[in-house]
Amino acid sequence: MTELLKISLPDGSVREMAPGSTPADIAAAIGPGLAKAAIAARVDGELRDLNRPLEGDAAVALVTMRDEADALELVRHDYAHVLAEAVQNLYPGTQITFGPATDDGFYYDFAPDPARGPFTEDDLPAIEEEMRRIIARNEPLVREVWEREALRDLWLTQGETFKAEWLMELPADAEITIYRSGQWMDLCRGPHLASTGKLDPQAFKLTRVSGAYWRGDQNNAMLSRIYGTGWLNKKQLAEHLTRLEEAAKRDHRKLGRDMDLFHLQEEAHGSVFWHPKGYRIWRELEAYMRRRMDAAGYREIKTPQLMDVRQWEQSGHWGKYAENMFAVPDITPDVAEDSGAAAPKVAPDAEWMAIKPMNCPAHVLVFKQGITSYRDLPIRLGEMGCCHRNEPHGALHGLMRVRQFTQDDAHIFCTEAQVVEEVRAFCALADAVYRDFGFSYHVKLALRPEKRFGSEADWDKAEQELRDAVAEAGMANADFGWEELPGEGAFYAPKLEWHLTDAIGRTWQVGTIQGDRVLPERLDASYVGEDGERHRPVMLHRAIFGSYERFIGILIEHFAGRLPTWLAPVQAVVATIVSDADGYAADVSAKLAAAGIRVETDTRNEKINYKVREHSLQKVPHLLVIGKREAEEGTVALRTLGAEHQKVMSLDEALALLVAEATPPDLRPA
């Protein structure tokens, strides 16, 4: 008699099923409602197709559309396959490559027939209609296992050279699977829904087209990448498109131009040209962070931009990170006067320097100066450190992804006994900062990656210290979105991450703290313990803003340019209605400036509605309108950005209001 499979279900029950049974069979055995609702299953934790036979005893959890995270991953993967099939139906000769799910949709990279040329956004409506026809056909999505050589030969026969290349580079022991929809098929590990008809034909939209290099290498062929967004139903799609519209209005690049804050240009790829108004925001943030760090016992330092490559080799960064670093030869350039744009000659034996991509090794060198006692610990060293990273041109994105950036960086050198308390104190500091800017946040613990330095015992200890600190801070719970992320830590340390939620629901990973025992060892940092012996300190890497560039970009989008008064580059404009009020306007401006308000005066011969509109577009928080009556009575008509009506009040009353709003949150009375 054939032995039955023992299937453990989430409620603790165990069902016996015939060998070869599928999750769909289990759902049907439980009841018709679940059989209809089930879309996939987690088998021993792995997400699988509903119709894939079970190989043996297993823990099975059936997945329905209510399991939104799994459901979205499945439908987006399916939309990508349907997109690829639609493109090949419409444009014979197009080769397929890859098509993954993304955080809000999917994309697929194609190699169009050279005679046709790259795809454009004009092609998207026709492709969408073909996708809907494929969905309407309700084709089963069937998983098949193939022999590698047989599939390669088929791909080559069909002219699918990209697929054939990728297939032959898969690990030798990999199971080779394809998914078939009618006669169309694609190399894929899965999983997928049972059929194309499980997708909502009104819950997706193709959004844009861009170029992408095959396998991300600029030396390879240029492909056409078609992006789409995909959801479980039409309502979710509509909500997402609304969010995209709002995000476009808040785009920091557009607002940065409109508000005259900064610009970027080709002469300095990935580096920001800050204009006076934008740099005023920077200065206010920097002053705020300095006050916060001073109050928390940090001592500010400044370290070199260039250090010998050998220092980076010793720290381990050169071996792990060299492709993202800028290196320069330590030579006097030998360029002839008539050489034009020719590159300088570099001798084969030239010494090399690297521009720092991070501040950590330099902070260790500062710590190592002199003899440090355990009584001196913890030592908290902070730096507004300018760093450079060699990001690919195609990855650069306004202030959010740059090559030159400045961190609110700091490193805490402490004993093992001090780690938990130092991390707890940092959690409290980060909480105060983010609340000052109106952000809610989630805290996540990124655990050891596959490739890492250090012993397993050190990683065990470092991860547990961070858990304990978060628990002591009262944040290891659902209110703070507490979650552990396997494999997401740095190569030298686990880290806590702060994920901020902005005004339109997007999340941004910003602050971090990492417990590191590797770098002090590699750079031979030590302190003298109570026993008179040398000991290694634990090094905590931490930042709250992350980088000033990116944090300013986030703030611009979070506030849609309407920055809090204390951060606004111009906090008030005094605008006249008639020229008779010019003298009084000058007096008002002088009084505001004397009180520390960043104020401008607008006495142009323009209608007041024009002035109001112009300064509103500049996101000036307060407009003090002055006419003949206000000049005679010593009052102002205060118009606050976003308010429907203006308020007439005395100058002293307006001044008190502005001074209160212009006071940074850390300096306001408790």
Q: What amino acid positions are annotated as catalytic residues?
A: 360, 389, 407, 409, 411, 495, 541
88 secondary structure, DSSP code: H
Burial of 261 (0-12, 13-18, 19+ CB in 10 A): buried
Name the token pair of 192.
Answer: 């997928």
Name the token pair of 397.
Answer: 């994105």
Angle at which helix 124-137 crosses helix 68-90, to 10 degrees, equals 110
Residues in the chain: 670
Report the C-alpha gap between 534 and 526 in whole angstroms: 6
What sections of 534-667 are H helices per DSSP?
548-558, 582-594, 608-617, 628-633, 651-662
In the chain the first and final C-alpha atoms are separated, in Å, by: 78
Q: What separation in angstroms does the CA of 24 have from each of 36, 56, 181, 233?
A: 9, 15, 19, 23
Which of 406, 349, 354, 411 has its CA nearest to residue 379?
A: 411
To which residue do tokens 């006076």 refer? 276
CB 630 within 8 Å of CB 605: no
Burial of 49 (0-12, 13-18, 19+ CB in 10 A): buried
Q: Which residues pair with 575 in a beta bridge?
A: 602, 625
Phi, psi of 467 (to 5 degrees): -60, -45
Q: Which stretches of 402-504 are assigned E, i.e. beta strand?
A: 404-414, 440-446, 483-485, 495-501
Query: How many other CB atoms sit within 10 Å of the CB of residue 128?
Result: 16
Task: Work out whether strand 204-213 and strand 222-230 pair parallel, antiparallel, or are unpaired.
Answer: antiparallel
Phi, psi of 234 (to 5 degrees): -65, -35
Contacts of 370 (CB under 8 A, 6+ apart): none
To which residue do tokens 């090949």 refer? 88
101 secondary structure, DSSP code: B
Task: Work out whether strand 379-388 and strand 299-300 pair parallel, antiparallel, or are unpaired.
Answer: parallel
Number of helices (H), then strands (E), belonging to the chain: the values are 20, 32
CB 562 within 8 Å of CB 628: no
Report the C-alpha gap between 342 and 488 in whole angstroms: 43
Name the token pair of 514.
Answer: 């990492």
CB 201 within 8 Å of CB 231: no
